[in-house]
């Protein structure tokens, strides 16, 4: 049984990804905005993955990354707190005849865990669902799940700290998103800033290093940052 103070990961912040309609809309939107093949090529390279590697993706969503990763590694464990996301991802795996991905219900803090240390952990656009204290617990759990020299690929919305005027910064960023993506994505970004738990770069970096991971590489573009970390 969970401790009474345990954070309830099943409650979604921002978009409710337990809703099958939101899941379908998210998948359609991501397929137009993202280039999964290029993302996965980069993830394989920076995580030093090989045909023998096992990978755990946390917050897999509709499973595109897990399924693309599966072709070059031994096994992928893909977890999410949303049963609707997992159903959708599992359906894709079946359609594509991909058998080396295990989809299971679980979050950063609770639920399914691989029963052995993994070579790589991937998590994209999901850690900001947790408030900061719980992010630190999640990162410690990730460090504990990696084998020695195993690597984490963490991509998320992270706010830069070297900003004097956040209102001007957010306005410029949202205007750019509106012109390069759409009004819908701009609206989602506003909602994200207002209601979700994205944190500042120095706080996240402190939590990463205190969890026993070394930051190997940071790449930041606008609101999005990628951290490649090693145990
Ligand atoms: C914005 S989607 C990102 C999905 C996918 N990683 C991607 O890059 O497209 C966020 C996902 O995180 C999941 N999520 C929310 N809270 C979580 C938690 N505590 N642990 C694991 N996944 C969580 C949501 O259910 C959703 O599928």
Q: Has residue 181 got a pLDDT over 90? A: no
pLDDT over 90, % of the chain: 93
206: pLDDT strictly greater than 80: yes
Nearest CA to ligand 1 atom 13: 59
Predicted local distance difference test score (pLDDT) of residue 223: 86
Q: Please say whether the beta carbons of 33 and 27 come within 8 A.
A: no
Task: Check residue 54 and give its pLDDT.
Answer: 98
Sheet containing 214-221, strands listed edge to edge, beginning at the edge strand earlier in sequence? 101-105, 75-80, 54-58, 118-124, 146-157, 224-230, 214-221
Can you tell me the mean pLDDT for 202-213?
98
> Tell me: the pLDDT tens digits for 78-94?
999 999 999 999 999 99
Q: Is the CB of 126 under 6 A from ligand 1?
A: yes
Q: Is the CB of 108 under 6 A from ligand 1?
A: yes
Cβ–ligand 1 distance for 130 under 6 Å, the answer yes
Alpha-carbon span 212 to 6, nearest angstrom: 22
120 C-beta closer than 6 A to ligand 1: no
pLDDT of residue 222: 83
pLDDT of residue 108: 98
Domains and CATH numbers, the chain: 20-158+198-230 (3.40.50.150)
Rounded average pLDDT over 62-81:
97
Q: Tell how far CA 156 is from the center of its chain.
A: 6
What are the start-end ranges of the H helices in 80-200? 83-95, 132-145, 166-180, 183-195
CA of residue 88 to ligand 1 center, whole Å: 13
pLDDT of amino acid 1: 66
pLDDT confidence of residue 2:
80
Residue in the block written with tokens 């409650």: 11
Q: For atom 14 of ligand 1, which residue has the closest CA?
A: 59
pLDDT at 147 (0 to 100) = 98
Average pLDDT of the residues in 30-41: 93
Ligand 1 atom with the smallest distance to the CA of 108 is 20
Take atom 23 of ligand 1 and give the residue whose Cα is closest: 59
The predicted structure's pLDDT at residue 110: 96
Nearest CA to ligand 1 atom 5: 61
pLDDT grade for 28, boundaries at 50, 70 and 90: very high
pLDDT of residue 176: 93
Question: Residues 31-54: what's their mean pLDDT?
Answer: 96
The mean pLDDT value of the chain amounts to: 96
């Amino acid at each position: 049984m969970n401790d009474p103070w345990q954070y309830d990961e099943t409650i979604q912040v921002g978009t409710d990804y337990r809703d099958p309609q939101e899941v379908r809309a998210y998948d359609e939107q991501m397929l137009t905005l993202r280039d999964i093949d290029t993302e996965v090529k980069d993830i394989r390279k920076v995580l030093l993955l090989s045909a023998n590697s096992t990978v755990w993706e946390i917050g897999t969503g509709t499973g595109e990354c897990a399924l693309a990763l599966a072709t070059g590694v031994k096994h992928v464990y893909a977890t999410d707190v949303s049963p609707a996301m997992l159903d959708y991802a599992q359906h894709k795996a079946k359609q594509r005849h991909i058998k080396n991905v295990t989809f299971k219900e679980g979050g950063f803090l609770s639920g399914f865990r691989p029963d052995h240390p993994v070579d790589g952990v991937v998590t994209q656009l999901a850690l900001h669902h947790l408030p900061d204290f719980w992010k630190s617990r999640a990162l410690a759990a990730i460090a504990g799940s990696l084998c020695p020299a195993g690597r984490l690929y963490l991509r998320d919305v992270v706010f830069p700290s070297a900003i004097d005027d956040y209102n001007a910064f957010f306005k410029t960023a949202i205007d750019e998103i509106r012109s390069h993506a759409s009004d819908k994505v701009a609206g989602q970004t506003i909602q994200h800033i207002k209601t979700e738990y994205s944190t500042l770069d120095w706080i996240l970096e402190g939590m990463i290093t205190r969890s026993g991971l070394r930051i190997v590489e940071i790449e930041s573009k606008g609101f999005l940052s990628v951290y490649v970390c090693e145990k």
